[in-house]
Structure 1
Amino acid sequence: MKRKGIILTIILIGLALGIWYATSTNQPIKIALPVQESVGYAPYQHKAPDLYSLWKDEAASKSLQPAGLDTIVAQGDRNQYSNNQLSFSMNIPAQWTIDHHQPTEYVRFFSEDFRIDVTYEDTTKAYSTPDKFLETTLAPIKEFEVKRETSQHNEFNVLVVDYKRPPISKSFDHFTTYTYLFAYNDKDVYTFQLKSREDVWSNRRGELLQSFKTFAPVPYNPVDLNKDMQSKPISNELVAANRNYHMTVPKNSFVQGIYHKEFEKLTELENETSTRFGSQMIYKSIQNEFDPYIVQVLEDGRIPIVSFLFETPKNAKGTSPILSEIISGKYDKYFVNWATNTKRVGGPIYFRIAGEMNGEWTIWNAVHNYNDPDLYKLAYRHIVDIFRHYNADNANFIWNPSGTNVPFVNWNHATMYFPGDSYVHVIGLSGYNFGKSQWSEWKTFDEVFGTLYYDYLRYFSGKPFIIGEYASGESGGNKTEWIQNASSLLKSKYTNIKIAVWFNEKQGEEFNFPFTSSPESTQAIQKATTTEGVISHPITKSTKEQIENKIRHQDKK
């Protein structure tokens, strides 16, 4: 016993000296949290994806779209649907549920065994033509095609394309059969995509073709969609009182975050540049286990953001198996590991799940997945469901599209990938000023985020925002002024953005994003991270009172 007491005393003295050294030299205190193999937790029982629940959740999601953009008129056992933004009307069966919460981008007709997504393109606005649009849309699914038919409907050419993809699993994936119906003239294209359970596909296809006989264009109604968003400033707050850590980002304030490739050296960077970042983002492949460094981020008073990447090679056909593999449970052991260890941490952790899904450079984009955004949404929801199964209520989920839809077609619009209000805590925005190059022009912060910000306020009501990635290059303008302007606008105009993550990595020789690219830009970031209204230490240790207040708040709900 005496020997054990001596050893314990030595350990405590060593720990005290370590803490003294770290604090006196402003070095980070390394906190070790052994990664556990989900010990004490029952194995996760894989569940079949539920498309009908997904579609219902999407339809129930809140938006702040202006009134009068579409109408539904009951006509016995039919409904007359008309939309003055997508510029069409059609008579449909009354038993079809209508999802029209995003009437400026798409409308969906659905039931338990099918959905039909309707989008509209004025191809002149995309510097394209109907032929190029059809080529872009049909190229990814060419080898899965089963049949093509052409016809005429009034002044429109009509192309019907049937295709079928391989099932994710023969035991539960039966929604593998699709039909495209395109109605087009010399500039306009209306796209109807039917996705159906295989056993009822023929009937649903027939119903689509029968309903399409009543299709007619209607005049577009030009309205200022974002007028209300611009006249009513919105600012949510981020608050969490978890078991071990408390987080507060009040209204009308934000946290300056950073992605730094050598993430464990962030404190060194701060010491060298006299900066302080209140949030840190790290990237992780879905085949990584929980990283104990997350605890260090919390101990440093920062909000940790884990950006999951769905990384695997594309197969020879140009499609990627990754979404099907996630949905089928191939990577469940990694998500269970993250969920159970996240719960153990007892502090707020934000997970940015496979961002920029509307960009074809990601293999989780629809062009690599049979032109079906549902597969991304099912994979996203599958991950969230695992965290919820293990009661990791300190996990928060960020849904973060790219600021640009590529390909630039409305069936690839960001809203098509939204997994439903109940699966998203925070909406992410991404955008860059690439500067002057052969591909780009210098853009101000307003030019990068202005329209996008107000569009997202309209699309996604009641959600706080984060900028998941932003930065400025050097060529063609003043990077220092750009940083200063961004910081000022984040506090005064873009008040619903609660965290802004600077992407501090050089991209090739042309895009010099690190804020240390010049002494002046370094000074601009230093000022931006320490000025009033920027929360530099949003994470603190939880008190008993904070946890009790959280319980009372939950009870009121």
Structure 2
Amino acid sequence: MRQKKLLALIILMIFTLSINTAYADEQTASTNLTTYSSAYNKYSNHPYGYEMTLLNSLKLNEDIGTVKSRFESEGLVVEVLYDNFTNTLNSSSIYLNYGNRGILGNPDFKITGEYNHNFNGEWGHIVLYERKKLSNVENDRNFYANITFARSSKEVITVFMKSSQPLYIDYIMPDFKLTKKSGTMKEDKVFEPVEKNFDEQTKKFYDEYLLNNEKVDFGIFEPTFPLYSYRLAQIEQSLDYNFPVVLLYNSFSLPYKKDYMNKAKELGKVVEYTLYTTDIINGKEEDITLEILDGKYDDYLIHLAQSFNEYDFPVLFRLNNEMNGEWVLYSSHKVGKDTDLFIASWRYIYDLFKEQGVDNLIFVWNPNEKSFPDFSYNDYLCYYPGNEYVDVVGLTAYNTGNYYKGETWRSFSQAYDHFYYDYAKRFKHPMMITEFSCASAGGNKSLWHQDMFNIINRYDRIKIAVLWNGQDYDNSKPEKTVSRNYRIDLEQEVINAVRNGLQNYK
């Protein structure tokens, strides 16, 4: 009898220990996904302080869990994003009002409902919207919902849904509640490039200038090149430096400029070919992300692919740079707050080029240094197309000077430290500064360049840096007025500083 009691006591202790251990594990893990019922799971996020019940057909992805938790099935996506506006000018009300502006300004999207809803005790603000369904995309998720839960005037949690069918929110997510925050989020996934079958010349350039480069090589944007190539030759002579990379811009409203590209090739310059997914429609520049995905620009892309094949020389292909800035038409802020559309169009173009046998393009993915608006749905990580689709991570930050209100003079390190080290932690790709410069207003431009050349080699992942030799203009003035003078070939002191600095990188 005593043996039976002792055995029962041991079993009870083991059972209690297992329950306590499981409970402890659940409490110490930053997030938990557990079975709630035969049809639903419960997801708990302790650092951001919420828990929700979701359909168990949705598969969880926390690759960038510090930004969002993503749940996905064949026809449905649910993302949960956290924003904290402490020590910023933003607030919960600004987030709600400003977030809708991009949708309201895009005729491809239509808001169909806006109201408050109680999720079993927790009130959320719901915005429903939709767009036309793309005929070329299987299970196109064209029905949207944004559900915002305000923890305070400075903290919000957003549940973003999109579906191939009209949304039944209560069925997808019957319960949501805010909880006490605890712990810290686990680290995000580190991304790394996939080895490519570049042609011989492109592989040589990639290896020499990006993969195994022990110094920084400088490129340049010269607005008259290559139409007036003698201007670049004069600059190179005055600076005693041969720029191996030149920057050119294009969009779908313009054809592939064969003469320009051949001139660059003739001079041995690798082109940083920047392409925007925009076109001139009825006299106005418009984003064409949806049209690309629907196959309406296949002829343009096929001709472009054939042109690159014929070109047969390395190209740094920079597609839709600064996508996390609201000044570009393809930013998700203006395209339904749906970064998946950016990723899908990137992959669509990449795959089409691959099908056409293009093997001389080095794909450069290039967010802006800061996200505008600075909301989680517009975070630069949300735009990452995937390891197969990115060969180089691009960086962009300018010292804009202080011509405009709110802008301040920044040293090179002040411009780059805050995001270079973040990128270096998150990506194993080689990096390049795709364009940068220093304006004249607000400080000593020649000393800025001296400092830049002295410290840029500390950023050991940066292999190429492209100087932007141009000017911005103040369109508010009736006469032509330069607002930001980024030229490096005007003032003799600046020319001397750039020439002297470049000598250490030859």
Q: TM-score, normalised by structure 2?
A: 0.81
CA distance in 1, matches of 2:261, 2:251: 15
Matched with 1:300 is 267
Matched with 1:261 is 223
Matched AA of 1:209:
M
Q: Which moved more, 1:249-258 or 1:496-505?
A: 249-258
Matched with 1:109 is 71
Count residues with an aligned counterpart. Answer: 453
CA distance in 2, matches of 1:158, 1:235: 38
Matched AA of 1:472:
C
Given candidates 212, 219, 225, the residue that maps to 2:181 is: 219
After superposition, the C-alpha distances for 1:381-437 in whole angstroms (9 at most, x for unaligned) are 121112101111121111111112112211111112221111111111111111123
Given candidates 196, 200, 206, the residue that maps to 2:170 is: 206
Matched AA of 1:500:
A
Matched with 1:75 is 35
Given candidates 119, 125, 137, the residue that maps to 2:81 is: 119
**Structure showing greater relative contact order (alpha-carbon pairs closer than 8 Å, 6 or more residues apart):** 1
Identity %: 24
Matched with 1:522 is 495
Determine whether 1:191 maps to 2:158.
Answer: yes
Change (3 A) 1:171 1:464: closer
CA distance in 1, matches of 2:233, 2:256: 24
- The secondary structure found in structure 2 opposite 1:281 is strand
Q: Give the Å deviation of 1:482.
A: 1.7
Matched AA of 1:105:
V
- Contact 2:47 / 2:185 at 8 angstroms: preserved in 1? no
Change (3 A) 1:306 1:170: closer
Matched with 2:465 is 500
Change (3 A) 1:347 1:452: same
Matched AA of 1:367:
H
Q: Write out aligned runs for 1:128-143 (5 A).
A: 128-142=90-104
Q: Which moved more, 1:160-169 or 1:414-423?
A: 160-169
- Contact 1:360 / 1:407 at 8 angstroms: preserved in 2? yes
CA distance in 2, matches of 1:503, 1:175: 40
Matched AA of 2:233:
T
Q: TM-score, normalised by structure 1?
A: 0.74
- Contact 1:243 / 1:347 at 8 angstroms: preserved in 2? no
- The secondary structure found in structure 2 opposite 1:339 is helix
Matched with 1:335 is 301
Given candidates 374, 391, 394, the residue that maps to 2:360 is: 394
CA distance in 1, matches of 2:297, 2:70: 31
CA distance in 2, matches of 1:84, 1:252: 43
Gaps of 5+ in 1: 1-67, 537-557
Change (3 A) 1:528 1:330: farther
Matched AA of 1:371:
K
- The secondary structure found in structure 1 opposite 2:233 is helix
Q: Give the Å deviation of 1:273.
A: 3.5
Determine whether 1:352 maps to 2:325.
Answer: no
Matched with 2:419 is 452
After superposition, the C-alpha distances for 1:155-180 in whole angstroms (9 at most, x for unaligned) are 85411222111233388563211111
Gaps of 5+ in 2: 1-27, 474-481
- The secondary structure found in structure 2 opposite 1:516 is coil
Matched with 1:472 is 438
CA distance in 1, matches of 2:101, 2:487: 38
Q: Give the Å deviation of 1:115.
A: 0.7
- The secondary structure found in structure 2 opposite 1:432 is coil
Matched with 2:486 is 513
Q: Which moved more, 1:79-88 or 1:468-477?
A: 79-88
CA distance in 1, matches of 2:110, 2:289: 18
- The secondary structure found in structure 2 opposite 1:433 is coil
CA distance in 1, matches of 2:214, 2:387: 23
